[in-house]
């Protein structure tokens, strides 16, 4: 078979995600099996695992020569970015999934030779699927998403992960003081989606590749900055302190945390 076009890949991934949404909603009608990973604030459920297994098996069948980087271990040990690398977070915001049964997302990204090509963030309960990439643009349920306004720190809302605020890391309280207000959502996927629509103008958190892989592609396609907190480029295979921001908010924040 000849290589599928990007549009064909895009349609296929959206089909997988809609099937996964049906699975997750079905499993939510039965009791969850919840385990701790590194501690009581780091959870995994039977649904995280089942959904990752499902998505990884679909990726492998569709694209057998790809590597897959998945949070729950059903993918590969990815150590280089050559070729097609898929990044899968089957449930982003597992604590929200367990405690709120809302405000969580599924995320898939496709990188080719280290370049972000396609990204997907699916807000499951809202049934809002953000998709796209540099050659397609960004869509919310297949409707184009406009580039968010370039809002300065003092005029917009910032989301910062809980630990960075409670541990007073990198002068985050001052970033909050200089902003229009502080919000916290507990799901990197949800927070990236609010950046895409301009509802947030900054998001800062310590993230792993599957937390930022899809969001980075979508946010950069819309002109947002996705970098390490010092403004330098992220590595796709490493965990890091990540800042997503409008260009103006990034310029306002770098001197505060530097």
Q: In whole angstroms, how close is the CB of 41 to ligand 2AM at the nearest point?
A: 6
Q: In whole angstroms, how close is the CB of 95 to Ca ion at the nearest point?
A: 9
Residues 6 or more apart whose Cβ sits within 8 Å of residue 146: none
Mark 119-138 with x for binding to ligand 2AM (rule: CB under 6 A) and - for no binding: --------------------
Mark 210-239 with x for binding to ligand 2AM (rule: CB under 6 A) and - for no binding: -x----------------------------
Beta strands in the chain (DSSP E): 34-39, 42-45, 67-70, 84-92, 105-112, 115-123, 128-133, 137-140, 143-144, 157-160, 181-183, 202-207, 225-228, 240-245
CA distance 42 to 247: 32
User: Annotated binding residue at 91?
Assistant: yes
CA distance 28 to 47: 8
- The yes or no reply on residue 123 touching Ca ion (CB under 5 A) is no
What's the DSSP call for residue 153? G
- The yes or no reply on residue 211 touching Ca ion (CB under 5 A) is yes
Q: In whole angstroms, how close is the CB of 62 to ligand 2AM at the nearest point?
A: 23
- The yes or no reply on residue 67 touching ligand 2AM (CB under 6 A) is no
Q: Which does 41 bind (CB under 5 to 8 A by kind): ligand 2AM, Ca ion, none?
A: ligand 2AM
User: Annotated binding residue at 113?
Assistant: no
The annotated binding site for Mg(2+) is made up of: 71, 89, 91-92, 211
């Amino acid at each position: 078979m000849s290589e599928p076009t990007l549009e064909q890949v895009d349609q296929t991934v959206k089909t997988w995600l809609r099937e996964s949404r049906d699975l997750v909603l079905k499993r939510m009608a039965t009791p969850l099996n919840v385990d701790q990973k590194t501690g009581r604030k780091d959870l995994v459920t039977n649904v995280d695992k089942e959904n990752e297994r499902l998505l990884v098996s679909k990726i492998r069948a569709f694209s057998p020569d790809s590597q897959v980087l998945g949070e729950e271990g059903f993918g590969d040990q990815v150590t280089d970015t050559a070729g097609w690398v898929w990044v899968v977070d089957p449930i982003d915001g597992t604590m929200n999934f367990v405690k709120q049964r809302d405000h969580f997302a599924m995320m898939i990204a496709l990188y080719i030779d280290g370049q972000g090509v396609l990204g997907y963030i699916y807000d499951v309960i809202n049934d809002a699927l953000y998709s796209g990439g540099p050659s397609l643009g960004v869509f919310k349920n297949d409707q184009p998403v406009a580039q968010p306004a370039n809002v300065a720190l003092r005029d917009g809302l910032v989301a910062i992960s809980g630990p960075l605020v409670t541990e007073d890391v990198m002068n985050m309280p001052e970033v909050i003081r200089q902003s229009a207000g502080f919000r916290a959502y507990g799901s990197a996927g949800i927070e990236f989606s609010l950046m895409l629509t301009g509802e947030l103008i900054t998001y800062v958190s310590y993230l792993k590749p599957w937390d930022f892989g899809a969001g980075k592609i979508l946010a950069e396609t819309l002109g947002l900055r996705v970098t390490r907190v010092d403004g330098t480029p992220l590595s796709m295979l490493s965990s890091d302190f990540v800042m997503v921001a409008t260009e103006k908010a990034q310029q306002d924040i770098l001197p505060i945390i530097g």
